Chain A
Amino acid sequence: MSARNSRWTAVSAAGLVLLTGACFHSTAPRGWLPTAVEAQRDAYGGWIKLDYAVNGNRQALHGELIAAAPDSVHVLTSEGMVAVLTATVISGTLTTYDANYGGLRLWAIFGGVSTLSHGVGLVFTLPLWAIAGSTATASASKAPRVESTNPALLRAYARFPQGIPPGLDPRSLRQKDIRTLSRH
């Protein structure tokens, strides 16, 4: 194998490792997000990370998206419900379900490893796996992500997509208890 091909193979192998790690990771607590299948019957909102400005200072909060109205976004954090004015929101990253792409990443990595059986042909097949594997894994990891500050796009994934129910006492809302979640 020429030095050029060796370099290309090494770069591809490194790329495979690095790029399969270049996936989107939610800040949701482990086990909090339902899978796509579970989300069909899950009644909680998605997990949102909001960056917003208060008196020129950038702040961030994480929690369950409770509602997204045109004027405010309501998030249930570990310290209770917080309403953030939509006008102050700088960015919003919502994760709607657990992409569960670990298997896909494993598939891509094993695919790359399997090119060892191609002899020096791996100078072609390893880069192919690196590109396809990293692209597929990254794409799958980002599928449940909604990046927006637009309440109209966020509200479908809120606990109350219809908006905050009239008469609801925000202090009465409880967080999802992941210890008691049943995984069907």
Chain B
Amino acid sequence: MRNALRWLSASILVVAVVVGCGKVYKQRRTLTEPAQVATIDHKSPFLKAHMRDGGVYILSPWSVDPTARTVSGQGERLDANRRSVGTGAHLIALDSVALFETNVVSTHGSVAALSIVTGASLALTALCLTNPKACFGSCPTFYVSDGTRAVLEAEGFSASVAPALEATDIDALYRARPASRMFEVRMTNEALETHVVRWARVLAAPRPDRGRVVATQAGAFWQASDIVPAQRCSASEGDCLAAIGTIDGVERFSTTDSTDLAAREVIDLEFPIAAGDSLGLIIGSRQTLLSTYLLYQAMSYMGRSVGQWLAALQRGDIRVREQSQSLGRALGGIEVQVLDAGGVWTTVGQTQETGPLASDVRVVPLPRLRPGTTRLRLRLTRGHWRIDYLALARLSGPVTPLRLDPVMVRRGNTTDAQALALLTDSSRTLVTLPGDEYTLVYQLPEDFSRYELFLESRGYYLEWMREEWLAEENPARAMMMFLQPNEALRALAPEFKARERDMEAAFWRSRYVRP
């Protein structure tokens, strides 16, 4: 239905363009004295020669002979009352002419302006017609200042796509640089979703000297020092060291396998020293759009039955809950591997933060490594992860962060006491809709610059079912995605592969709200 509307409106718009753009002109009229006939505008298809007696010749084609001091052409002579008094070829002496009149007609500039708007409008229609699953989607997005500008630093509870999947998510605000104790976090709803936020707290953990605090997948916080970058990074494409040295948005990523979306790859890392106790690998990463695509594809296949599925989740159906996580398990996280005594790469931990928008920084604690160990390996699904940062650190001890509720909430320049009350009462929730934006203000400890900041958000979100997705309703395929995820990932590989190259750009272009 929605696609039909799009085709209809595109067609109507094209017809309107044809009707509208061809007939809107502007006119440039010029009067020329006979003595200045050499300057007359020859672009004018008609020449009017106004005679002293009030009559006028209207000639087309026409020409001027400056030597003979005449104008000639085919046309009509009209008297002062504009009655025709002669048609055919005319030769007129310049001396008998009072004034020449020329008119040049051209397309009005408004046509060009509307053409540009039409092009943009049709492009948006075409984008949604051809690739509806590339339309922007996200969970709540959180922006903080890095000292110079607002940066997208966290996306809350990305995997919580239903009330039954409500979860707490911790994101490192690794680039945050608060300017004062009053620390502001901007929370936005930028997609076609309903966000239900139970809380959004800032966690402040004291940093060690010349160190940072990092969180594990399990939500433990560790003080980290002696942070050293890798000295070698190699993957299937070759050297990847330049991409993973700092958190700068320059990321290492690959593309998916064309036959199996779950196909794995490895990244080999080498550090100056990796042996010893209490080490951890710090990983800054986010997902590619593969997981987003698969979520939308699953909703497409479920079609009208998506409501039943959500209801089953809500009833606490364990089987459905397991099924809902099967694709995520098949794709896996970023596994960290070390060589065991037998020379086999063995997984010792992993990180798996859901979401394609903001890189999160996590640490994977390592077991005691044998003397002489300098190499680590990452094993991950091809085309599933974007890695911005990798570093080895010594984990000097666990730390318990302060949990800070917001002390003020603003919408625009207005204080929103009701939103503050909802966010500070864990029995209630703040519901946001597309375009909503809140500034959450937290009061940090006095020596705020010595604290590492994290965002702890809890809630869930409801993806809006989009009508164009219903066109692909296919219960059998939906079942395959949940019950046989590995087969589904092979079946979907060609289609995803065909869209993969342009998906990231299309995704960000189609963002509903731009911060």
**Which A residues contact B (CB, under 8 angstroms)?**
1-2, 4-5, 35-37, 39-41, 43-44, 96-97, 99-101, 103-111, 113-121, 123, 125, 128-129, 132-133, 135-137, 139-140, 143-144, 155-157, 159-163, 165-168, 172-174, 176
Q: Is the CB of B105 within 8 A of A40?
A: yes
The answer on a CB contact under 8 Å between A118 and B26 is no
Neighbouring B residues of A143 by C-beta, 8 Å? 26-27, 108
CB of B192 within 8 A of CB of A168, answer no
**B462 interface residue per 8 A CB criterion:** no
Most chain B beta-carbon contacts within 10 A, residue among A117, A129, A133, A157: A117
Besides A111-B117, A129-B121, 7 more A-B contacts (Cβ < 8 Å) are A1-B435, A44-B82, A104-B114, A114-B9, A117-B8, A118-B121, A139-B110
CB-nearest residue of chain B to A143 = B26
Query: Which partner residue on chain B sits nearest A118 by CB separation?
Result: B124
A132 touching B56, Cβ below 8 Å = no
Inter-chain contact B192/A37, CB cutoff 8 Å: no
Contact A168 B99 (CB under 8 A): no
Chain B residues near A110 (CB-CB < 8 A) = 12-13, 15-16
Contacts of B101 in A (CB 8 A): 156, 161
Quick check: B31 and A36 within 8 Å, CB to CB? no
Q: Using a CB–CB distance below 8 Å, which chain B residues touch chain A?
A: 2, 5-6, 8-10, 12-13, 15-17, 19-27, 29-31, 44-46, 48, 50, 52-54, 56, 58, 60, 78, 80-82, 98-99, 101, 103, 105, 108-111, 113-114, 117-118, 120-121, 124-125, 128, 192, 433-436, 466, 510, 512
Known contacts A110-B13, A132-B114, A165-B52; decide if A123 and B82 are in contact (CB<8 Å): no
CB pair A156 B16 closer than 8 Å? no
Asked if B125 and A111 make an inter-chain contact with CB atoms under 8 angstroms apart, the answer reads no
Partner of A41 from the list B5, B20, B58, B120 (CB cut-off 8 Å) is: B58
Q: Which of B50, B58, B80, B121 contacts A111, CB < 8 Å?
A: B121
A41 touches B46 (CB 8 A): yes
B434 contacts A1, CB within 8 Å? yes
Contact of B27 (CB < 8 Å), options: A1, A39, A135: A39
Quick one: closest B residue to A99, CB to CB?
B24
Main SS of chain A's interface residues? helix
Q: Once bound together, how far apart are the Cα atoms of A12 and B101, in whole Å?
A: 44
Known contacts A125-B124, A140-B110; is-contact A36 B9 (Cβ 8 Å)? no
Closest 4 CB pairs of A and B: A107-B20, A136-B110, A162-B98, A165-B54
Would you call A36 and B25 a contact (CB within 8 A)? yes
Report A-chain residues with C-beta under 8 Å of the C-beta of B82. Answer: 43-44, 159, 174, 176
A156, B31: Cβ atoms under 8 Å?
A: yes
CB of A160 within 8 A of CB of B54, answer yes
B50 contacts A107, C-beta separation under 8 Å: no
Q: How far is the CB of A153 from chain B (nearest CB, A)?
A: 11
Contacts of B44 in A (CB 8 A): 40
Contact B121 A114 (CB under 8 A): yes
Which chain B residue lies CB-closest to A100? B23
- Cross-interface CB contact of B24 among A103, A132, A162, cutoff 8 Å: A103
Cβ-neighbour of B80 out of A99, A129, A140, A168 (below 8 A):
A168
Question: What residues of chain B lie closer than 8 Å to A166, measured between beta carbons?
Answer: 52
What is the chain B residue whose CB lies nearest that of A5? Answer: B435
Q: Would you list 24 pairs from A and B whose C-beta atoms are within 8 A, ordered by A residue?
A: A1-B434, A40-B45, A43-B58, A101-B24, A103-B20, A103-B24, A106-B20, A107-B19, A107-B114, A111-B16, A117-B8, A118-B124, A120-B434, A120-B512, A121-B124, A129-B121, A133-B117, A136-B113, A139-B108, A155-B31, A156-B101, A160-B80, A161-B99, A168-B54
Q: What B residues does A109 contact at CB under 8 A?
A: 16
When the two chains form their complex, are residues B27 and A144 in contact, meaning their CB atoms are under 8 A apart?
Answer: yes
Tell me, rounded to whole Å, the shortest Cβ–Cβ distance linking A17 to chain B: 16
Q: Please, which residues of chain B bring their CB within 8 A of the CB of A101?
A: 24
Provide the bound-state CA to CA distance between A137 and B9, in Å.
21
Q: Which residue of A lies closest to B83 (CB)?
A: A174
Contact A115 B121 (CB under 8 A): yes
- Say whether A104 contacts B24, CB under 8 Å: yes
Contact among A103, A144, A161, A162 with B23 in the assembled complex (CB-CB below 8 Å): A103
**Chain B residues whose CB sits within 8 angstroms of the CB of A133 once the complex forms:** 114, 117
Cross-chain contact A165 with B80 (CB below 8 angstroms): yes
How far is A15 from B53 in the complex, measured between Cα atoms in Å?
A: 51
- Of A37, A113, A125, A135, which contacts B25 at CB under 8 A? A37
Whole-angstrom CA separation of A113 from B435 in the bound complex: 22
Instruction: Find chain B residues with CB under 8 A from A35 CB.
Output: 23, 25
User: Can you name the residue of chain B whose Cβ is closest to the Cβ of A103?
Assistant: B20
